[in-house]
Amino acid sequence: MEIYWGGSLAEQIEFLAKGIADVILSKDNVMEAMMAESTQNYMPLIGYPSYTAFFISAREKPRINKAYFLDKTIGLVDYPTSRSAHILPKQVFKQLDIDLSALQIVYASSHSALRELLSKGEVDIIASYWQEQDQQRFSKNYITAIADNVSGSKWYIKMADENTDLACALQVSISDVVNDVQSSYFNKLRHYWQCDSAPYKFIGGDESEN
């Protein structure tokens, strides 16, 4: 078994386009762009819940206007497919007619690294999601929503054969690992395979994520 962790977007695209990965964590926009479900037979196992993306500050409630951002240091993740911490905030800047070169942007490797930058005062604002443990360091009064109902990532399995036993076993294993993480975000995982009775059934993607 080979495991690849923290690959770049280019590597993820290559894995999907060539069908290299048997199991992969990806996002709807990447899967759709690569047509990976139809061309490489990737099917979802588990979907993370939808969430809200925020601008988060340590000292004040962020305002969505051009003048506010121009004198702030802003923390984003250095990962172009991250919606909450890269795509959506940059969409806000574009809507406000702000040239990115006019902004002081600091890129971090992860959402955790963003929070470290904010807590140390190295940035004024970060773009991310809000989690319960954030209240230990930051105030919920100092967050401003960027977008609601942002779809979460999904674990996909490459199903060249109808190996439903394998799909169900992986779904259980991934659920066990995820549920060990103490976060309310994982309380509403969407399971795409109904595995508690035979024959196993795939639950289509048109149903609610919740």
pLDDT exceeds cutoff 60 at 98: yes
Question: Are 138 and 194 members of one domain?
Answer: no
- Write b or e for each residue in 58-93: b if 16 or more Cβ atoms lie within 10 A of its Cβ, otherwise e: beeebeeeeebbeebbbbbbebebbbbbbbbbbebb
Residue 166, number of CB atoms within 10 A of its CB: 14
Residue 112 is given by DSSP the state: H
Residue 182, number of CB atoms within 10 A of its CB: 8
Question: Are 102 and 113 members of one domain?
Answer: yes
Q: What SS3 class is residue 155?
A: strand
Question: Are 164 and 128 members of one domain?
Answer: no
Does residue 90 lie in a domain region? yes
The answer to whether the Cα torsion of 86, 89, 92, 94 is positive or negative is negative
What are residue 149's phi and psi, to 5 degrees? 50, 45
Does residue 207 lie in a domain region? no
Residue 200 is given by DSSP the state: P
d(CA 55, CA 125): 6
**pTM for this structure?**
0.71
Domain that holds residue 129: 51-150
Identity at 178, one-letter amino acid code: V
Residue of higher predicted confidence among 189 and 85? 85
Give the pLDDT confidence of 123-171 residue by residue, as tens digits: 999 999 998 889 999 999 999 999 998 888 888 999 877 788 888 888 8
Does residue 4 lie in a domain region? no
Does residue 170 lie in a domain region? yes
pLDDT exceeds cutoff 90 at 91: yes
Does residue 2 lie in a domain region? no
Give the pLDDT confidence of 171-198 residue by residue, as tens digits: 888 888 776 665 555 567 888 888 865 4
d(CA 171, CA 154): 11
